[in-house]
Chain A
Amino acid sequence: MIRLERRPEPSRAWTLATPFVAVALTMVAGGLMFAMLGKDPVEAIRTIFWDPLFGDFASYSRPQLLVKAGPLILIAIGLSLGFRAGIWNIGAEGQYILGAIFAAATGLAIYPAESWIVFPAMIVAGALGGILWAMIPALLKVRFGTNEVLVSLMLVYVAEALLASMSLGLLRNPEGMGFPGSRNLAQYPSAANLDLIPGTGMHWGVALALIAVIVGQVVMTRHQLGFRVRLAGQSPRAAVFGGVNPGWLIVVCMGISGGLAGLAGMFEVAGPAGRLSIDFNVGYGFTAIIVAFLGRLNPIGILLAGLLMALTYIGGELAQLQMNLPLAAIQMFQGMLLFFLLAIDLMTNFSFRFGRRATA
């Protein structure tokens, strides 16, 4: 007879091994899935995981790795803080959109004046947009006890409608021949978020994401906030007795994650995307949730997970072009990855025992 027994402490070996095992299993299961749909599984897996780095168009897609990993890592670092404390901000996608709207509006308000102040002003506006949007679920939870999962998620749909309204109305390019979408900020030198080293995809947002990883690591391991977050996550009651104000923690965690999501939106609209449009958001806010879990809610892990997820994004686009797979298929892949990760997590906290339980 096989029994599960809770380990006294989570296994360190399994904590580290889990993401790798999960990725391997996802490739196998994903391949089977593609085979069932009549696509060549080997080609599909190679297109998604290999070609972006080493395929024929790798010189184009390699810089894209950083461009896509930047926002994912930035958002996931913020989310991981709340997730550790048991605060579920699921609406990072909305905060990302609001950051982009605020930043674009700020930049366009100053257009076409050139000044060094434009870019910093947009950064502040972007962070502010994300924080304000995140404060709605945070304050409602603190004041009325509403569920932050549902409220933050509902606000994603509101943000998408707001984005559509902005790119069709207030922020529409007056010289755009009536097409939806704002002016191209990447062509406005004071506002443009260009590659710091041309051709690498390394823009200010990626740099900030790397800084966030380091700061996140320091905060989690060395700072009072990290201690409070971990305490609240492990035992909310103990945290209250230990002097942690739960309301304060909610506001801080939601604020940080909202602010970082807003910044990610800002760097995206000023750089790679260039302009606001109806389909500006591509689900970074949702994928970042997977990145946070895949990275074990640990900053260094998130860095690696973000790069892997960016790879699947680019691979997904390639698969769409070359194999006629729908872009959303990549979401299925990402969901599957999270399934395997959560399933194997059992090994971290439990051990298998064979034979009967010894009587005490």
Chain B
Amino acid sequence: MSNIDPILLLSAIIVVATPILLAAIGELVVERAGVLNLGVEGMMITGAVCGFIVATLTGSPWLGFAGAALGGALLSMIFGILTQLFLSNQVATGLALTLFGLGLSALLGQGYIGVKGPSVPDVYLPILRDIPVLGPILFRHDIIVYLALAIVLGVWVFLERSRAGRVLRAVGENHDAAHALGYKVVRVRLMAIAFGGACAGLGGAYLSLVRVPQWTEGMTAGAGWIALAIVVFASWRPGRLVLGAWLFGGATALQLALQAAGGVQIPIEYLQMAPYLATILVLVILRAGRAPGSLGRSFHASS
């Protein structure tokens, strides 16, 4: 235990939490619009492979992240069209999206296994990064870490302070009433779903370009599902989402640190269970707040 450096651990938590936070904030917007997309895992892994391919081909990680967001958004549109225009069951469609994404990514990434991608530089923040303790924890990361937090803040402002955000919430709370007021329920939901897909794609690319950084099949390993759990844990509020992501980042970073530190009597396999068990535990302990009223229900104007 004494081999674990608390500053490094806290810094690692922020990095580990970032992909989950990105995917979760996207899904939060989707669910606030009244749509349950269980395909986060599939969109994330598609983002991971798209980001890695684009970054490797162009040599630019930033184009990679853009490609990942685009890939995730495009994939989410399959879900959007099926659930919003074809009125399919959202649970089943989301599961299909996950399966499809896992398969598609394996197919696309076939030639990229073991390839080394371009590296993502850390942002150089003078003065801030030299603050003792806080500097290494908070101010020595890559730009995506800060982008993720900025997106969370942006979503909060959008949902709570903007007119468009109020429309989105109205659509999620009661789609029939929103429709009666003249809001375009399907259009709002499609935009929310695309945003969710783009965020999940970014989160996936963060895994393949920064955290690992490599492409391997099935590399998201349930991160998309954990993102879904965090949205429930956060009671659909952006602020608590960050807390949730750091909590799960903490469970993961701690078990990785324990593995690396060695000298622990617990086998690695049991340590690997920790983030998943922590997710279940938190779902049990913290009773979720009220879900958006129309969550998961199909909307058909004439009914």
Mask: chain B, 54-96; 1 = CB below 8 Å from A; 0 = not? 0000000000000000000000001000100011110111011
Q: How large is the interface on B (under 10, 10 to 19, 20 to 34, 35 or more residues)?
A: 35 or more
Mask: chain A, 314-327; 1 = CB below 8 Å from B; 0 = not? 00000000000111
A220 touches B (CB below 8 Å): no
A158 touches B273 (CB 8 A): yes
B302 touches A5 (CB 8 A): yes
B147 touches A (CB below 8 Å): no
Could you say which residues of chain A place their CB within 8 Å of the CB of B272? 161
A338 touches B96 (CB 8 A): yes
**Closest residue to B38 on the A side, CB-wise?**
A149
Tell me which of A90, A146, A328, A331 contacts B283 (CB under 8 A).
A146
User: A37, A90, A326, A339: which has the most chain B beta carbons within 10 Å?
Assistant: A339
B23 touches A (CB below 8 Å): no
A326 touching B110 in the complex, CB below 8 Å, given contacts A88-B91, A154-B280, A164-B269 = yes
Tell me which of B103, B284, B303 contacts A331 (CB under 8 A).
B103
Give chain A interface residues in 312-360, CB to chain B under 8 Å: 325-336, 338-339, 342-343, 345-346, 349-350
**Dominant secondary structure at the B interface:** helix
B212 touches A (CB below 8 Å): no
How many residues from A make CB contacts under 8 Å with B?
A: 52
Could you say which residues of chain B place their CB within 8 Å of the CB of A338? 92-93, 95-96, 99-100
User: What are 27 A-B residue pairs whose CB atoms fall within 8 Å in the complex?
Assistant: A5-B302, A6-B300, A37-B107, A90-B95, A140-B280, A144-B287, A145-B287, A147-B232, A147-B283, A150-B225, A151-B283, A154-B222, A154-B226, A157-B276, A161-B270, A164-B269, A329-B106, A331-B106, A335-B102, A336-B100, A338-B99, A339-B82, A339-B93, A342-B93, A345-B88, A345-B89, A346-B88
Known: A154-B225, A326-B110, A330-B103. 10 other contacts (CB 8 A): A3-B302, A147-B229, A153-B225, A155-B276, A162-B269, A165-B269, A289-B95, A328-B218, A334-B99, A350-B87
Residues of B at the A interface (CB closer than 8 Å) are: 38, 42, 78, 82, 86-89, 91-93, 95-107, 110, 217-218, 221-222, 225-226, 228-229, 232, 267, 269-270, 272-273, 276-277, 279-280, 283-284, 287-288, 300, 302-303
Q: When A and B form their complex, which 7 residue pairs have the shortest distance between CB atoms, in order from nearest?
A: A332-B103, A335-B100, A328-B106, A331-B103, A165-B269, A338-B96, A342-B88
